[in-house]
């Protein structure tokens, strides 16, 4: 593996250059045009087999080994977020209101340079490597599902993926067997009351008061309806009534998210939220429209592949700690890949040791220690070589 590590070290500057180019030129989910073209062109210059427009805007490149064998897939996402960047760095986003605030630029740079290095080691490959570059991870329905339906996993025996994680110290690799990330669902409710003059509430049905009662009682669903030995989060992020200050609102719109790990809890909350809002509205002489939208399922890692990555990470020189982590309540459509083939999704620490704290993902000042890309590349690269050699 020393040849792999040495080659990645030599190409680290290119990895940083690619990451910064992508960071300066971000594209939103489902609007990616230049990013997939950049990715496809890079792989073509390496001489790999390339498919563009996979599932919509995805790119899949295949590296056939010198000898027959199994097929390993590696995945990176490449979409950005609708956030105005506040960092003052040379590679600051050039696109108003759009930035890479989650590390997807780093994921892509990692995978591209790893492809370059593995291509140089093709004679050692007994099998194939598939590089899956996914669009639209940030917004449901996401890019993973349509890419799978378009054949990105055809012939794949195992898949590995990682997320560069700014809150976790550089040198730490976090793994978890089973559920590592939650199902991410969304609900939207419109409460219909009866508008009127603010001075005459008795002649109205105040949608704001009803909505407030609902939000307050909503907090009891996790504490009183969900088994305390199981995890769930219900959060309201949007409460809107477009109304003058002295007018009782005719209607309000409420939107929120539900995060769970188990299907039974997911279904329970979907039903209980509907029952709660309809009961409150009925008691207040109002009506409502309720819509529950299922997002990504939980990311459920496979035991054997998770232990495999943990063992591999222990051999990477830059890795100082390999830990089992608690599950995250965030969502990730890597879940769909793991429903189809064995694999694991792990966390690569990306917090600079000199930083007192790191800005969270999806923050306008988000950034990460670029050396984390090297850790990710070495871990996934070594896993690829060992898996193909072993199989």
Residue 137 known to be catalytic? yes
Confirm whether residue 362 is marked as ligand binding.
yes
Is there a catalytic annotation at residue 79?
Answer: yes
Ligand-binding site membership of 163 (annotated) = yes
Query: Does residue 43 have a known ligand-binding role?
Result: no
Active-site residue, selected from the candidate residues 27, 32, 77, 79: 79
Please give the Cα distance from 160 to 343 (Å, whole number). 6
> Which three-class secondary structure string do you get for 316-363?
CCCCCEEEECCCECCCCCHHHHHHHCCEEEEEEEEECCCCCCCCCCCC
200 assigned ligand-binding residue: no
* 325 is an annotated ligand-binding site residue: no
Q: Which of 27, 77, 85, 137 is catalytic?
A: 137
Q: Which residues are catalytic, by number?
A: 79, 137
Feature table: binding site for Mn(2+): 102, 104, 138, 163, 362
Residues at the annotated binding site? 102, 104, 138, 163, 362
């Amino acid at each position: 593996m020393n040849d792999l590590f040495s080659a990645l070290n030599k190409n680290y500057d290119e990895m940083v250059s690619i990451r910064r180019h992508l960071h300066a030129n971000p594209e939103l989910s489902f609007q990616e045009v230049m990013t997939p073209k950049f990715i496809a062109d890079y792989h073509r210059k390496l001489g790999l087999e390339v498919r563009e427009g996979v599932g919509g805007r995805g790119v899949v490149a295949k590296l056939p080994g010198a000898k027959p064998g199994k097929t390993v897939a590696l995945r990176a996402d490449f979409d950005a977020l609708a956030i105005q960047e506040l960092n003052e760095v040379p590679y600051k986003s050039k696109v108003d209101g759009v930035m890479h605030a989650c590390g997807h630029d780093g994921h892509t740079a990692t995978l591209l340079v790893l492809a370059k290095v593995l291509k140089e080691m093709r004679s050692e490959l007994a099998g194939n490597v598939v590089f899956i570059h996914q669009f639209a991870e940030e917004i449901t329905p996401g890019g993973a599902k349509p890419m799978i339906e378009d054949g990105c996993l055809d012939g794949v025996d195992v898949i590995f993926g990682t997320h560069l994680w700014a809150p976790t110290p550089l040198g730490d690799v976090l793994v978890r067997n089973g559920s590592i990330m939650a199902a991410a669902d969304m609900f939207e409710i419109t409460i219909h009351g009866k508008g009127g003059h603010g001075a005459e509430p008795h002649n109205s049905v105040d949608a704001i008061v009803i909505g407030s009662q609902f939000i307050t009682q909503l907090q009891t669903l996790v504490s009183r309806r969900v088994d305390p030995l199981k995890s769930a989060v219900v959060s309201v992020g949007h409460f809107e009534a477009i109304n003058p200050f002295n007018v009782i609102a005719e209607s309000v719109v409420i939107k929120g998210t539900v995060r769970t790990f188990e299907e039974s809890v997911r279904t329970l909350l979907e039903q209980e939220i509907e029952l709660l809002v309809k009961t409150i509205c009925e008691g207040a002489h109002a009506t409502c429209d309720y819509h529950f939208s299922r997002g990504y399922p939980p990311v459920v890692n496979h035991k054997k592949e998770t232990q495999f990555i943990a063992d591999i990470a222990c051999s990477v020189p830059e890795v100082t700690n390999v830990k089992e982590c608690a599950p995250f309540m965030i969502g990730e459509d890597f879940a769909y890949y793991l429903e189809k083939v064995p694999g694991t999704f792990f966390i690569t620490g990306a917090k600079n040791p000199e930083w007192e704290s790191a800005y969270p993902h999806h923050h306008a000042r988000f950034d990460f220690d670029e050396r984390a890309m090297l850790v990710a590349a070495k871990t996934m690269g070594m896993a690829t070589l060992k898996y193909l050699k072993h199989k």
